[in-house]
Amino acid sequence: MSTDTELDAVFKALANPVRRAICDALRPRPLTTKQVCGAFEDLDRTTVMMHLRVLERAGLVVPVRKGRERFNHLDAMPIQAIHDRWIGPHAAHAARGLARLKTELEAADDKQKLAAD
């Protein structure tokens, strides 16, 4: 299980729209740093490298060197940890509330139908 400090780093990394876009670009397949830079032509190489370092420190990007090239792999496990810690429990709570509301509305509708008969 991830610590709050690790999750903080992931939230901080994903708070930036450029870093989210980099994660999106890496989702289908690993890209070299040159390819990542090419996908963000409006940013200079230094800025892209800074964003990649933040993503790497958060555990979202795993660099693998092959010869002179650095391939950047997306690691979705930190995002899964966020889901498990924050989204899953909240979604389950909301779903239980909606199920309870549905049951109550259906019971009220049944009572109305009986009263109308």
Q: Does 55 fall in a domain?
A: yes
- Residue 2's pLDDT is 65
The total domain count for the chain is 1
The pLDDT of residue 1 is above 60: no
Q: Is 33 domain-assigned? A: yes
Domain with residue 73: its CATH number is 1.10.10.10
The mean pLDDT of 42-57, rounded to a whole number, is 97
Model pLDDT for residues 108-117, shown as the tens digit of each residue: 877 887 787 7
Rounded to whole angstroms, how far apart are CA atoms 76 and 66? 22
pTM, two decimals, is: 0.73
Render pLDDT for 53-111 as a digit per residue (tens, 0 to 9). 999 999 999 999 999 999 999 999 998 888 888 777 777 777 788 788 888 888 887 78
> Residue 59 falls within a domain, yes or no?
yes
Residue 16: domain span: 4-77
Cα–Cα distance measured from residue 6 to residue 13, given in angstroms and rounded to the nearest whole number? 11
Q: How far is CA 111 from CA 40, 100, 116, in A?
A: 61, 17, 9
How far is CA 10 from each of CA 61, 77, 102, rounded to the nearest angstrom? 11, 10, 36
Locate 40 and state its tokens: 């963000």
Q: How far is CA 103 from the centre of its chain?
A: 33
